[in-house]
Amino acid sequence: MKKRISLTQYLVEQQRQHGHIPGQLRLLIEVVARACKRISLSVNKGALGDVLGSADTENVQGEVQKKLDVIANEVLIEANEWGGHLAAMASEEMEDIYAVPNRFPQGEYLLLFDPLDGSSNIDVNVSIGTIFSVLKKPETGAERREPHTLGEADFLQPGSAQAAAGYCVYGPQTTLVLTVGDGVAVFTLDREQGSWTLTQDGIRIPDDTQEFAINMSNKRHWAAPVTRYIDECLAGRDGPRGKDFNMRWIASMVADVHRILTRGGVFLYPWDKREPGKAGKLRLMYEANPMAFLIEQAGGAATDGRRRILDIAPQRLHERVSVVLGSKNEVDRATRYHLEADANPSSNPLPPLY
């Protein structure tokens, strides 16, 4: 019989071999994985569990929350607040950070999450997911006498500082995808045993692809470099690229990124003219950073059109960002088109520099 490796065994062995998963981080990952299992149960119940439809509330981004957005957020908080591995959490669905209550011990890590990604797909039974990012609580200087009260500023670290990142896709299979900075591993939920089993390790994204993902309905609002890149893909074999491209858009970033990790591709959610004051639709801390970490760990690339996403110094917790990620050569090309347009500003319109 083929030997199965559980999530726990994988984490313990990684720690033994490479020493980069201290006890608190291992506990944190296991607790997040357990919370995802609970969320997946709610997702699977669907109409039978009264989890579909709107919660009739708004989040800090002004988006109407779905019942599952709220449920998933609560599950993640409840699961993570008492274990002693966390100092605080931040969520796409909460305006302020959530410090671990005083009655529990305070740990060394900060957890950020998009509890339910792809909310528009919940009610139509299309893949959705949970995305998470882990940061270390910043050291408080030895000279500081009074106890440090955690605040938003402690979370404002660049994506390159992440200790771990991952996502869970609730789709035909439930899969947990994880990086602790040493490649990307995939675990599949075995529903009969209730356990996560390693099903893929060391994932590599091909450098080249003929598949792109973008919401084409926004085409008229795009900036010139994005239009140039996509038009060239659409021109196919007869155009400057000399090959045909295929398009996929699931409208759940987790599912689009999962496809790209599995077989390559490029994903774009660029700045557009609908809301020129916003850098993009996706959120840096809960979506772009964890996905950029995973994509880079699998040999791909992730930029905001100009800069490496993981290098961006965040200014605000709920900051938004343009995203281009996936197969390296395509991301490099789309990024080059932005930089060329910056050097030749007559090609209008250009996204503002953030």
Please answer whether residues 184 and 260 qualify as being in contact, where contact means their C-beta atoms are separated by less than 8 angstroms: no
How many CB atoms within 10 Å of residue 48? Answer: 8
Closer to ligand AHG at the Cβ: 234 or 251?
Answer: 251
Helices and strands counted in the chain (H then E)? 7, 17
Q: Provide, rounded to whole angstroms, the least separation between the CB of residue 168 and Mn ion.
A: 13
d(C-alpha 267, C-alpha 165), whole Å: 19
Q: CB-wise, 59 or 157, nearer to Mn ion?
A: 59
Least Cβ distance, residue 119 to ligand AHG (angstroms): 4
Phi, psi of 287 (to 5 degrees): -125, -60
- Cβ-based neighbour number of residue 10 at 10 Å: 21
> Is the Cβ of residue 27 or residue 77 nearer to Mn ion in the bound state?
77
**Residue 224: both structure tokens together:** 């010139």
Contact 188, 10 (CB under 8 A): no
- Closest of 31, 91, 85 to residue 60, by C-alpha: 91
Q: How many alpha carbons lie under 13 Å from residue 238 in its C-beta half-sphere? A: 2
Q: How far is the CB of 287 from ligand AHG (least distance, A)?
A: 7
Secondary structure of residue 230 in the 3-state scheme: helix
Query: What's the CA angle centered on 171, arms 166 and 174, to 5 degrees?
Result: 55
Which listed residue (81, 89, 117, 272) binds Mn ion by CB under 5 A? 117
C-alpha 21/C-alpha 14 separation (Å) is 7
Find the shortest distance in angstroms from Cβ 238 to Mn ion. 36
Measured from the CB atom, the residue of 26 and 259 that comes closer to ligand AHG is 259
In the bound state, the residue with its beta carbon closest to Mn ion is: 117
In the complex, the residues that contact ligand AHG under the rule CB under 6 A are: 92, 114, 117-120, 215, 251-253, 269, 281
Task: Read off the amino acid at residue 211.
Answer: E
Q: Specify the stretch interacting with Mn ion by CB under 5 A; choose among 91-99, 102-110, 217-225, 258-266.
A: 91-99
242: left (phi over 0), alpha (psi -120 to 50) or beta: left
**Smallest separation (angstroms) from ligand AHG to the CB of 269:** 6
Closest by Cα among 322, 327, 279 to 301: 327
9 binds, among ligand AHG, Mn ion, none (CB under 5 to 8 A by kind): none
**Interaction partner, residue 215 (Mn ion, ligand AHG, none; CB < 5-8 Å by kind):** ligand AHG
Residue 252 touches which of Mn ion, ligand AHG, none (CB < 5 to 8 A by kind)?
ligand AHG
Identify the residue whose tokens are 């919370």: 35
Neighbours of 96 (CB within 10 A): 12
Q: What is the per-residue DSSP string for 197-235?
A: EEEEES----S--SEEE--GGGGGGB-HHHHHHHHHHHT
Task: Kindly indicate which of the ranges 111-119, 155-163, 299-307, 326-334 contains the residues binding Mn ion, using the contact rule CB under 5 A.
Answer: 111-119
- Nearest distance in Å: CB 13, ligand AHG: 33
Give the residue from 327, 330, 320, 329 showing the smallest Cα distance to 351. 320
**Contact of residue 290 among ligand AHG, Mn ion, none (CB under 5-8 Å per partner type):** none
Q: Which is nearer to Mn ion, 27 or 168 (CB)?
A: 168
The residue from 81, 114, 154, 272 that contacts Mn ion (CB under 5 A) is 114
Nearer to Mn ion, 92 or 330 (CB): 92
Comparison of 14 and 119: residue with beta carbon closer to ligand AHG: 119
Look at residue 57 and give the partner it binds from Mn ion, ligand AHG, none, a contact being a CB closer than 5 to 8 Å depending on partner kind.
Answer: none
| Binder of residue 125, out of Mn ion, ligand AHG, none (CB less than 5 to 8 A by kind) | none
Q: Rank residues 87 and 226 by Cβ distance to ligand AHG and give the closer one.
A: 226
**92 or 154: CB nearest Mn ion:** 92
Smallest distance, Å, CB 177 to Mn ion?
15
From 23-31, 89-97, 237-245, 304-312, span contacting Mn ion (CB under 5 A): 89-97
Residue type, 309: I
Q: How far is CA 305 from CA 32, 270, 340, 351, in A?
A: 31, 8, 11, 9
Contact positions vs Mn ion (CB under 5 A)? 92, 114, 116-117
